[in-house]
Amino acid sequence: MTVQEPIAAPSSKWSLSGLLLRGSTQFGLLVILVVMWVVLSSIAPGFLSRFNLNSLGRSVAIDIVIGFAQMVVLATGGMNLAVGAIGICSVMAFGYLLQVLGLPIPVAIAATLLMGAAMGWLNGIAIVRTGVNSFVVTLASASLFSGAMLILTRAVPYNALPPAIGEFGKAAVGPVPALLIVAVAIGIALYVLFRHTVLGRELLAVGASERAAQMSGVPVGRTITIAHVLSGMLAAAAAMMLTARLAAAMPSVAGDDWLLPSFLAPVIGGTALAGGAVSVIGTVLGALLVSTIRSGLLILQVGNFWLPLFLGAFLLAAILLERYRALLVQRHRTRNA
């Protein structure tokens, strides 16, 4: 969350460049969502049914937390391609702790979060100690984590979890699913982190300029490691939410399917791929877009294989638009200098 200096708008108030310079990324995303909801509710009346809205709410809650898991690493200018792998390991670990070991639910939750944090810590330490790009390290660790999970569990699902897990996944406070309340609570915590804490400012400082941050006394290595620890914990939290939604721990529900949504939600919501700027609210809206597209395709009975096409198109469009906007900003600053 960076505060930007006012930028002189071009002479044409209603030109494309004027709208890009004046407009907010989050506002534009909100407009897209409203248009999509109007269109979907018109061509598919079942889209606004109570059942579908409840299902959408539980789905978007998980997508939000998956987006947060990527967002905290993007803040430092890195990326975490192991988000899905950590998620799939956490799903199976959570099921094992509950069904096989019979641990109390709070203990199993704490242990799963710690495991996610540990996997994130391994990523962070490897990046800091070796100096290798996070893309390479997390790509390798994703394969390592997934492979180890398949060997240890043989990909056998855990279907006899305590009933309270499934009950929580279906629970709601009024019309709001309990899972969505959890996602919002996590979002508030992250908003406070980036807006009001030293650690949040350090994360953004490292993303804006690692060298400048180091010269200012920011412990860059520790900050990058903490970002990956937070990412691992958030991926584990999303995994447990998914387990609660399905009332079972299955190895096929996470993994590679998380990768594209994890980038799409924060990037299309205003988080910079280069680091130094994040938007918690934008990530929530981006996740809502992901879930809306998924739900719309389901309601319209369009094959699920179309989903990656739509998500990839939106991600590419968001990156190109943000790049174009950055060039416009740079040009106008140069002219007004």
The pLDDT score that the predictor gives to residue 329 is 63
Distances (CA, A) of 134 to 82, 122, 210: 10, 12, 14
Fold of 10-336: ABC transporter involved in vitamin B12 uptake, BtuC (1.10.3470)
Model confidence at 326, in pLDDT bands (50, 70, 90)?
low
For the segment 9-27, the average pLDDT, to the nearest whole number, is 53
User: Average model confidence (pLDDT) for the chain?
Assistant: 86
The answer on pLDDT for 13 being more than 70 is no
For the segment 30-35, the average pLDDT, to the nearest whole number, is 84
The answer on pLDDT for 62 being more than 50 is yes
Q: Is residue 222 classed exposed, middle or buried when 0-12, 13-18 and 19+ CB atoms within 10 A define those classes? A: middle
Farthest CA pair distance, the chain: 67
Give the residue extent of every domain in the chain: 10-336
Q: Which of 230, 238, 227 is nearest to 90 (CA)?
A: 238
The answer on pLDDT for 2 being more than 70 is no
pLDDT digits (tens, 9 = 90+) for 120-144: 999 999 999 999 999 999 999 999 9
Residues 213, 205 contacting (CB under 8 angstroms): yes
Residues 6 or more apart in contact with residue 85 via CB below 8 angstroms: 141, 142, 143, 144, 145, 146, 149, 255
Query: How many residues would you count in the chain?
Result: 337
Of the listed ranges 3-12, 139-148, 221-230, the one predicted with least confidence: 3-12
Model confidence at 48, in pLDDT bands (50, 70, 90)?
confident
Structure tokens at 83: 């988000």
Q: Which of 251, 260, 252 is nearest to 318 (CA)?
A: 260
In percent, the amount of the chain with pLDDT more than 90 equals 58
The answer on pLDDT for 337 being more than 80 is no
Residue with tokens 């799963």: 112
> What is d(CA 226, CA 58) in angstroms, rounded to the nearest whole number?
28
pLDDT digits (tens, 9 = 90+) for 84-119: 999 999 999 999 999 999 999 999 999 999 999 999
The pLDDT score that the predictor gives to residue 121 is 98
pLDDT digits (tens, 9 = 90+) for 152-200: 888 789 999 999 999 999 999 988 999 999 999 999 999 999 999 999 9
> What is d(CA 145, CA 82) in angstroms, rounded to the nearest whole number?
8
For the segment 55-80, the average pLDDT, to the nearest whole number, is 95
In percent, the amount of the chain with pLDDT more than 70 equals 89
pLDDT digits (tens, 9 = 90+) for 282-302: 999 999 988 888 888 888 777
DSSP 252: T
